[in-house]
């Protein structure tokens, strides 16, 4: 009987762990941009300097972007086809889970019966986490126009473990850049 009580707890834990590791990604792009002509990139320092995160995290993000773009054949250049910029947003997220409904022996006071007694009720679990958004912008270097933007939203692990932090940043960047370049379908006339 105890095993049946553990099943919902294990299921809830697995759902929570899965939701903590996922990154929700959305991208948008200029349909008139010719993404096939973009082969080289540089970082847009002015935009990156405005990102409100630590310089160490900026370096981690930029290294992850370099690795992703390099694996796709893009090269870093002094006269790039596109400029890459980033910015971030974060917010505190509070989740309240109502669970533990049932009967049990409690230590509450009943005015009609002396001492603790049997009863029922709800138990609440509250958790807080930091949810962050990482935006990666691709700007046409000649036209100085935004041609693609990807955004990843997910829970940030406030961890002291640098390797875990580095891995989480790589995961964010990788999942965002899965959408770049966009697979464009050519409409026939």
Q: Tell me the domain boundaries of the chain.
A: 24-98+123-179
- Looking at domain 24-98+123-179, its CATH class is alpha beta
Q: What is the CA radius of gyration of the chain?
A: 24
Q: pTM score, two decimals?
A: 0.69
DSSP strand pairing (75-76 vs 40-43): parallel
pLDDT of residue 85: 97
User: Which of the listed ranges 54-58, 77-81, 127-131 does the model predict with the highest average pLDDT?
Assistant: 77-81
* Percentage of the chain lying above the pLDDT 70 cut: 62
pLDDT at 159: 67
Q: pLDDT for 32-65, tens place per residue?
A: 999 999 999 999 999 999 888 889 999 999 999 9
Residue in the block written with tokens 């002396």: 114
β-strands 117-140, 82-106 pairing: antiparallel
Neighbours of 20 (CB within 10 A): 13
Q: Yes or no: say if 138 and 82 are a contact pair by the CB < 8 Å rule.
A: yes
């Amino acid at each position: 009987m105890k095993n049946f009580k553990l099943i919902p707890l294990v299921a809830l834990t697995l759902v929570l762990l899965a939701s903590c590791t996922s990154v929700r990604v959305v991208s948008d792009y200029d349909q008139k941009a010719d993404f096939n002509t973009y082969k080289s990139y540089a970082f847009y320092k002015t935009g990156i300097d405005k990102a409100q995160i630590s310089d160490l995290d900026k370096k981690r993000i930029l290294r992850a972007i370099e690795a992703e773009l390099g694996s796709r054949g893009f090269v870093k250049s002094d006269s790039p086809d596109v400029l890459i910029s980033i910015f971030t947003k974060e917010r505190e997220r509070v989740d309240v889970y109502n669970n533990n409904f049932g009967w049990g022996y409690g230590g509450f006071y009943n005015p009609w019966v002396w001492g603790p007694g049997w009863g029922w009720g709800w138990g609440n679990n509250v958790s807080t986490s930091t949810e962050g958004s990482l935006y990666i912008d691709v700007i046409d270097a000649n036209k100085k126009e935004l041609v693609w933007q990807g955004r990843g939203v997910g829970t940030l692990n406030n961890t002291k473990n640098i390797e875990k932090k580095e891995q989480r940043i790589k995961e964010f960047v990788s999942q965002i850049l899965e959408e770049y370049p966009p697979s464009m379908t050519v409409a026939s006339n």
